[in-house]
């Protein structure tokens, strides 16, 4: 049986909150590791369809437009993801239990980014049937954010109407993350020569790799970005050797690089390759750094209701977008990927209120500062 549209009931945030809480519990109880989000996509599709909303889907990405969509108006994207990382070994609770205890909803993906996701869905429902909006809303719940996969937001963007601005739901304690670094991952390989560890023979690939690893640790790019600071390079994985008495002929290591707009990717790679001996390959899916000007209407609206701005240390689906975007949502980034992940239930309620207040406040700003 279909559920009638909320209409005037949207004005009661309490109803939106209760529906959001139940949806989030259902999502947590449904495993959705990156690339395997089919069942959570089904849940979201069903949740919206039962409310007589026309729903679109490509693979595990689900999206919908407000009832009175008009191509003559700019479209605001409301986006968050429903995939999760794998539960880590530190969990002492069932990561899929979705239990609520002392206002804390526990479960994998509760904080990153389940609370944001259901709060944005509630916000979309709040505005869904309003006839006088100066903008369209596109709700997009996406897959493969955690693994930067090709079947996530990148795949869905080709199917959407043009976007003027994006509100990305990630845990920021409902403050405005106005910039974030991009991300590039390098796979490096060093070749030596195998030999017996007891003899003076061979060419140890680990020792050769250490010189390059030390360079990544110590090198600092001279130019800094006003918002994003310095480029950050971190060696995060090393793999070498086949057994204890064999000098390794190959050493592989991985470098995580956080990008700023001070250098292009080509400039960064040129510097790296001229300073190390390893063979370097770039993994697909380089994420661009992003920022939004302080003069943008949504930033003005946020400041008008007392929101603070900051630069986020983490990446998100913002890195795939070529339009102005703001990262903001309930929850705390420090809880993301932690064991026994949780979100406070009151954070979801305040997240819904905060998103609605921001968009309500944005309306008069758009009269004098329209988004194209």
- Which of residues 282, 297, 325 is at a domain's end? 282
Asked if the structure places residue 341 within a domain, the reply is yes
Task: Assign residue 202 the CATH number of its domain.
Answer: 3.30.70.360
Peptide linkage before 113 cis (omega within 30 of 0): yes
Structurally, the chain folds into a number of domains equal to 2
Q: Please write the tens of the pLDDT for every residue from 279-329.
A: 999 998 899 999 899 999 999 999 999 999 999 988 899 999 999 999 999
Nearest Cα neighbor of 143 from 83, 77, 209, 223 is: 83
Verify that 46 and 130 share a domain, yes or no: yes
pLDDT at 5: 45
- Which of residues 282, 304, 329 is at a domain's end? 282
Asked if the structure places residue 1 within a domain, the reply is no
Verify that 124 and 33 share a domain, yes or no: yes
Q: Which residues of the chain have pLDDT under 70?
A: 1-12, 367-372
Verify that 234 and 299 share a domain, yes or no: no
Both tokens assigned to 159 = 């199917």
- Which of residues 221, 254, 282 is at a domain's end? 282
pLDDT at 371: 67
Interatomic CA distance for residues 155 and 162, integer angstroms: 14
Contact 326, 168 (CB under 8 A): yes
pLDDT at 7: 45
pLDDT at 10: 45
Residue 228, Cβ density class (10 Å: 0-12 exposed, 13-18 middle, ≥19 buried): buried
pLDDT at 314: 85
Verify that 271 and 323 share a domain, yes or no: no
Task: Assign residue 58 the CATH number of its domain.
Answer: 3.40.630.10
pLDDT at 363: 85
Verify that 21 and 60 share a domain, yes or no: yes
Contact 251, 239 (CB under 8 A): yes
Domain with 246 in it: 184-282
Contact 297, 176 (CB under 8 A): no
């Amino acid at each position: 049986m279909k559920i009638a549209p909320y209409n005037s009931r949207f004005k009661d945030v309490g109803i939106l909150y209760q529906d959001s809480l139940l949806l989030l519990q259902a999502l947590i109880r449904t495993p959705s590791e990156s690339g395997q989000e089919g069942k959570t996509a089904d849940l979201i599709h069903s949740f919206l369809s039962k409310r007589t909303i026309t729903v679109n889907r490509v693979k595990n990405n689900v999206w919908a437009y407000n009832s009175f969509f008009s191509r003559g108006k700019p479209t605001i994207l409301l986006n968050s993801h429903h995939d999760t990382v794998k539960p880590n070994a530190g969990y002492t609770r069932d990561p899929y239990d979705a239990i609520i205890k002392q206002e804390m909803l526990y479960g994998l993906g509760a904080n990153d980014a389940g609370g944001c996701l259901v709060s944005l869905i509630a916000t979309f429902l709040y505005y869904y049937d309003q006839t006088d909006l100066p903008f369209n809303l596109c709700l997009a719940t996406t897959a493969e954010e955690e693994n930067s996969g090709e079947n996530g937001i990148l795949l869905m963007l080709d199917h959407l109407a043009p976007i003027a601005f994006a509100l990305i739901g990630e845990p920021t304690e409902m403050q405005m993350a106005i910039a974030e670094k991009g991300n590039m991952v390098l796979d490096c390989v060093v070749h030596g020569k195998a030999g017996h560890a007891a003899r003076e023979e061979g060419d140890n690939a680990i020792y050769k790799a250490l010189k390059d690893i030390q360079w990544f640790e110590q090198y600092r790019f001279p130019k800094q970005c006003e918002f994003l600071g310095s480029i950050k390079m971190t060696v995060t994985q090393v793999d070498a050797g086949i057994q204890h008495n064999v000098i390794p002929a190959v050493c592989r290591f991985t470098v995580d690089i956080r990008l700023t707009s001070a250098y292009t990717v080509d400039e960064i790679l040129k510097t790296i390759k001229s300073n190390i001996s390893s063979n370097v390959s770039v993994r697909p899916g380089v994420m661009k750094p992003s920022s939004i000007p302080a003069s943008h209407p949504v930033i003005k609206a946020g400041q008008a209701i007392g929101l603070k701005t900051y630069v986020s240390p983490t990446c998100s689906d913002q890195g795939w977008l070529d339009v102005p975007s703001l990262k903001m949502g309930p929850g705390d980034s420090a809880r993301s990927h932690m064991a026994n992940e949780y979100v406070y239930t009151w954070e979801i309620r305040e997240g819904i209120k905060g998103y609605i207040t921001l968009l309500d406040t944005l309306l008069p700003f758009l009269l004098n500062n329209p988004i194209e």
